[in-house]
Amino acid sequence: MPGIENEVIKYVFSNKKKIKFNHLKNIISIKIPKKKKLIKISNLDDIEENSSSDSSKKADVFFNDIGISIKAKNGNPYNKLYRKDFSFMKKFIKNDDKYKQVVKNLEEKLKKIHSKDLKRDVFWKDIIEEKYFKPVLKYLMMDGKPSKKNNFPAKFLLIHDDSIKSNENLALLSFDEYFENYKDKIYFAFRRVWFGATSSEHERAKNICYQHLESEGWCFKTITGKPAKRKDGKSIWRSDIMTSDRRTAYYLNIACKK
């Protein structure tokens, strides 16, 4: 579990008798999910000892056995959505033509982004109708990843400021409340990785270009942008891959503007 999430849980644990959240007036128990179990927190040391870096779980903590997802204010709702995963949206977009149109909209934007005719951040309303986007986002934030539901789903979102010094820095929201508060800030963030880069981005691009299903339109033979400079001063490009074999690949984050 990232440090900031631990800090949120520590604050709530230390102040649980004073905190009165919407939806949850009294906090009786605090538990942390770990290795398919819920570990009861009895003291501050328990939080550090049982913290987990498992990013797949949706609930980071359980208050009164209710799953809570901890999110930074204006933090990304979901990271790393690949073309191969899009079919999960069919659970929420029952009309096949509508689903295909969403995919088409994304790929048309991507072509413009790759040619630098469009910025990499695209407002979700330019891609998908709200009646489809809202349940898709809810599933990704609260229930699971594209391939399967999570063992620890979340019922509420605990939104925190960067610094937590008082109860005012925390807000417990239902997904509906979160969506109403943030829907005008949410966008699809297209992110580049390069096959042939010396960084770990190479493996991600390799998977997109040569292993992921239905991802041909997300891998380009031309190079747009370039990997970040290495701190050690070495080349950003691998010597064992010819220049002509380099590729630019893309995936999506669902992000939130500050």
Across-strand partners of 30?
Answer: 63
Looking at the domain assignment, is residue 133 inside a domain? no
CB atoms near residue 3 (< 10 Å)? 9
Please compute the mean of the pLDDT values over residues 30-50 and round it to a whole number. 91
Say whether pLDDT at 181 is over 70.
Answer: yes
Looking at the domain assignment, is residue 176 inside a domain? yes
- Note the pLDDT of residue 1: 44
By DSSP bridging, strand 156-160 and strand 66-72 are parallel
Looking at the domain assignment, is residue 127 inside a domain? no
- The phi, psi pair for 81, rounded to 5°, reads -105, 125
Q: Residue 157 is part of which domain span?
A: 3-75+140-185
- Note the pLDDT of residue 36: 84
Looking at the domain assignment, is residue 13 inside a domain? yes
Q: How far apart are CA 97 and CA 104, in angstroms?
A: 10
Please report how the helices 130-138 and 175-182 are oriented relative to each other, as an axis angle in degrees rounded to 10: 130
* pLDDT, tens digit, 9 for 90 and up, residues 142-174: 999 999 999 999 999 999 999 999 999 999 999
Looking at the domain assignment, is residue 131 inside a domain? no
In the chain, how many domains are there?
1
Looking at the domain assignment, is residue 82 inside a domain? no
Structure-token pair, residue 186:
């949410």
Share the mean pLDDT of the chain.
95
- The phi, psi pair for 4, rounded to 5°, reads -65, -35
Lookup result for tokens 């056995």: 65
